Amino acid sequence: MEPTFHIGNLPVYGEAILSPMDGFSDLPFRAMARRLGSAMSYTEFVNAIDVVNVHPALERRLTYSQGERPITFQLFDDDPARLLEAALRLRERNPDIIDVNMGCSAKTVAGRGAGAGLLRQPAKVAQIFSSLSRELDIPVTGKMRLGWDEDNLNYLEIARIVQDNGGQLLAVHGRTKKQAYKGEANWEAIAEVKAALSIPVIGNGDVRSVADIARMRRFTGCDAVMIGRAAIGNPWIFAGLDREDVPAEQVRETMLAHLDAMLDFYGAERGLVLFRKHASRYISPFRLSTEQRQQLLTSETPGDFTALVDAFADEPVFA
């Protein structure tokens, strides 16, 4: 089987990839997406300050399985020297790729000049990619937005800086920092970036169905497509299935397997609580009453949750 594309010398097989999402793309969800066909894995982003200070909460964010390779650790910060120190420390954990986040629009990140805030500092972007690419023996990549706002669309400048300073792949979310997740993604801008670069480009934004994967690739020429919010509650999109094509029994099996993985990873109490945000999306298409949804999403034990799922599965609403 021929690789879909290469990141440096690293082959990647597949055209759809689970996007890194804070609070969602943990090991249980990433591993499931990979089994269903996601081509590679990105961790939730990690703060370089936390890496340097050895924050205890980082351990879970950086835990990965060998079946996830190629595995990408995503970092954010506004300080090039600290980013390099953090990247060198993360290299000891044997990831395949280090990725620099230039897309997070959250005020706590972009407001301090990290994430999408880096887009306002092209010289700093050049410094970051130059130093990381020089000092690391694995590929350095980036994920970016189109600019700070509509009046500052500097995506082509930033894209060329990334490539010229050693970046070996660029993922492009077709929105500005100001847009956050509102409005429409600008696929034409992604196509411009792809045409301007020789390194692989991943398109991101408004891919909600299997047909959208092919449509974005056709429209932009991108090497692969990154899927975030649309994969929550529908990881089968990586297996070429839209949610309406997944039988209720398969939803049930996958949902309970995901819950088991969360319990194993986080422990019974925290695993169940953290799973609720996934459960609400898994059950959203079903014709459950408000009371039934409330019962499921406030279950106090995994056994209660499973018993309710089994009870509702026998009703016509769970179909």
Told to judge if 104 belongs to the known catalytic residues of this protein, a careful annotator would answer yes
Both structure tokens of 132: 């990381």
CA torsion angle 282 287 290 295 (round to 10): -50
Outline where 136-182 has alpha helix (H). Answer: 155-164
| 235 neighbors 33 (Cβ within 8 angstroms) | yes
The answer for residues whose C-beta is within 8 angstroms of residue 307's C-beta and 6 or more apart is none
| 80 neighbors 131 (Cβ within 8 angstroms) | yes
Report d(CA 135, CA 105) in Å as an integer. 28
Q: Is the C-alpha dihedral spanning 43, 49, 51, 54 positive or negative? A: negative
Of 16, 48, 51, 104, which one is the catalytic site residue? Answer: 104
Angle between helices 268-282 and 290-297 (to 10 degrees): 150
Catalytically active residues, by annotation: 104
